Amino acid sequence: APGGGGGNNPRRPGGGGNTPSLEDILNRGRDQFRGGVPGGRWAIIGGVLALVAFWALNSIYTIDEGEVGVELRFGAPKPELSQAGLHFHLWPIETVERASIRLNQTTIGSPVAGARGGDDDGLMLSGDQNIVDARFTVFWAVNDPVAYLFNVRDPEDMVRSAAESAMREVVGRRPVNDVFRDDQAGIADEVREITQTIL
């Protein structure tokens, strides 16, 4: 038959041209990258220096006056504390948490006797069954920064609750005259001792 002999050959797409083999594709890719990274060696050195600078900026930290730093290694606090100044740690393996060691002030009770405005923290029952509205202030500082940062959810609320409980206990044992006039210093000392014991 005319034109015979070609019935057994499959047709190649694209008009019968050769398709590139995997080896040809790899050789072309190798040739393209043989010239190196665009910009050459200096681009690689610049990239490495940028990474080192980024790591150094995250590894150096400052602790302000009135603060201490607690370094964490893999999330566990290290025993030594960082005092005020410039410090270095191995970021990202180590991180740092800061705790203020300044004197804090917590006031309990209404600002003006009788003007409670919904705040009845200062209302207490004295030993002779009188209701008193005692307003007092607690000054406190952080003694254990690790416990302060990781063992207490709301430190100020804890101080407030402990001091209020101590004041209620002391006022509940004394007559109203001691609270307002006769023995305020003695009451303050007792409340301080009980609050420190609780905390």
pLDDT of residue 129: 78
Burial class (CB in 10 A: 0-12, 13-18, 19+), 70: buried
Angle between helices 184-198 and 155-171 (to 10 degrees): 130
**For the ranges 5-9, 46-50, 125-129, the one whose mean pLDDT is highest:** 46-50
pLDDT of residue 70: 93
In the predicted model, what is the mean pLDDT of residues 68-89? 89
pLDDT in tens, 118-132: 456 677 877 777 788
pLDDT in tens, 147-176: 888 888 888 889 998 999 998 888 888 877
**Residue among 142, 135, 139, 125 nearest 176 (CA):** 125
Is residue 42 very low, low, confident or very high in pLDDT (cuts 50, 70, 90)? confident
pTM for the full predicted model: 0.58
107: CB partners within 8 A, 6+ apart:
135, 136, 137, 138
Q: Could you tell me if 187 and 178 are in contact, meaning their C-beta atoms sit under 8 angstroms apart?
A: yes
End-to-end CA distance of the chain: 108
Q: Could you tell me if 171 and 133 are in contact, meaning their C-beta atoms sit under 8 angstroms apart?
A: no
pLDDT in tens, 14-38: 444 567 787 877 777 666 655 555 5
